[in-house]
Amino acid sequence: MSIIWKLLQERILILDGAMGTMIQRYGLEEKDFRTNYFEQHPSSLKGNNDLLSLTRPDIIKEIHRQYFEAGADIIETNTFSGTTIAQADYNLSSFVYELNFASAKIAKEVANEFTDKPRFVAGSIGPTNKTASISPDVNDPGYRGVSFDELVVAYAQQVNALMDGGVDLLLVETVFDTLNAKAALFAIDEVFIERKEQIPIMVSGTITDQSGRTLTGQTTEAFLISLSHMPLLSIGLNCALGASLMRPYLQILDEKSPFAVSAHPNAGLPNEFGEYDETATLMAVQIKEYLDKGLVNIIGGCCGTTPEHIKAIATLAAQYAPRPIPNNFS
């Protein structure tokens, strides 16, 4: 952890922006999600972006490269839905290892192209499409669509593949259910023990609306407390909210977190067509409030953000010192 920890003391690190937003720019069709791998697959695959690491690695590499060129220190692998649980919707659970390994490998290849400063690859671990805390059946509140143990198995498979592919960090992100996140962290811990190897862990939760709570009802402080037993590199917030709406909750993390604090907000709120209109300049103005108050150590973008957004944020963040981190665990 020493290299990235040292950098966190020196400056604010820049995370990349949205993968899905960039993929949409390419106007891909069904065939792009099948090339050389899934031509005979019976289910529709368009929109399963993780597959592009296998079928169109050229596009994924190009996106990673654009974010690094914009100033990102850390890029995320194209593996947000890279678990057997999430891929089951497409009948592709058996390809999870290949998806994660390939995504990590190509991201690392791009990172190695840049030698001007240290560049890092974070293995993106999404929340899955199931929740361990809430019943999906309104008539049976005790029912669960997935168990803690099933989540642990799925996350462990993903983590092993990401580490085999060479990621530098693990990012448990877009956490809407802390029990899911606990399963991910439990799996990571087990994998570390089995491999006799550890890499830094980032966690990023999602405050779903202006109530200031996650989907499963936790406040920001409760979310932090629930995960503070792990020696995290950082804890933060992403998705759901734009930068200005996220600020009050980042202030809580700034006050309470013993870890580095990260943020990658959306480019505002979606319009009536589900698109994000906030420009790079407008988003940077709002991010400046974070920096003026010294709230963050790692800053990037989520839905709707592009290399233009990341470049504006990186240029701004370079003018500021990072948030002091209370817990020195270098």
Q: pLDDT by residue (tens digit) across 161-207? A: 999 999 999 999 999 999 999 999 999 999 999 999 999 999 999 99
> Model pTM?
0.95
Is the pLDDT confidence value at 247 over 50?
Answer: yes
Torsion of CA 191, 180, 99, 19, to 10 degrees: -130
92 contacts 34 by C-beta, under 8 angstroms = no
- CA dist 98 and 54 (Å) reads 8
63 contacts 19 by C-beta, under 8 angstroms = yes
Q: What is the pLDDT of residues 88-104, one digit of tens each?
A: 999 999 999 999 999 99
Q: What is the pLDDT of residues 39-79, one digit of tens each?
A: 999 999 999 999 999 999 999 999 999 999 999 999 999 99
Gap between the terminal Cα atoms of the chain: 6
Task: Residue 155: count other Cβ atoms within 10 Å of its Cβ.
Answer: 28
* Mean pLDDT over each residue of the chain, to the nearest integer: 94
65 contacts 110 by C-beta, under 8 angstroms = yes
Distance of CA 140 to the CA centre of its chain: 32
106 contacts 64 by C-beta, under 8 angstroms = yes
Q: What is the pLDDT of residues 138-165, one digit of tens each?
A: 788 887 889 999 999 999 999 999 999 9
> In this predicted structure, what is the pLDDT of residue 164?
98
CB-count burial class (<10 Å; 0-12, 13-18, 19+) for 285: middle
Q: Kindly list the domain boundaries of the chain, sorted by start residue.
A: 2-317
CATH superfamily label, 2-317: Homocysteine-binding-like domain (3.20.20.330)
Residues 153, 154, 157, 160, CA torsion sign: negative
> In this predicted structure, what is the pLDDT of residue 240?
87
Is the pLDDT confidence value at 220 over 50?
Answer: yes
Higher pLDDT, 167 or 133: 167
Give how far Cα 229 sits from Cα of 5, 44, 124, 180, 259, Å.
19, 41, 21, 15, 11
> By C-alpha distance, which of 152, 236, 159, 150 is closest to 198?
159
- CA dist 276 and 21 (Å) reads 9
Is the pLDDT confidence value at 266 over 70?
Answer: yes
Q: What is the pLDDT of residues 9-18, one digit of tens each?
A: 999 999 999 9
Matching residue, tokens 């990673």: 64
> In this predicted structure, what is the pLDDT of residue 330?
45
3-class DSSP state of 62: helix
CB-count burial class (<10 Å; 0-12, 13-18, 19+) for 112: exposed
- CA dist 143 and 75 (Å) reads 37
229 confidence band (pLDDT: 50, 70, 90): very high
- CA dist 83 and 160 (Å) reads 11
Phi then psi dihedrals of residue 55, to 5 deg: -90, -30
264 confidence band (pLDDT: 50, 70, 90): very high
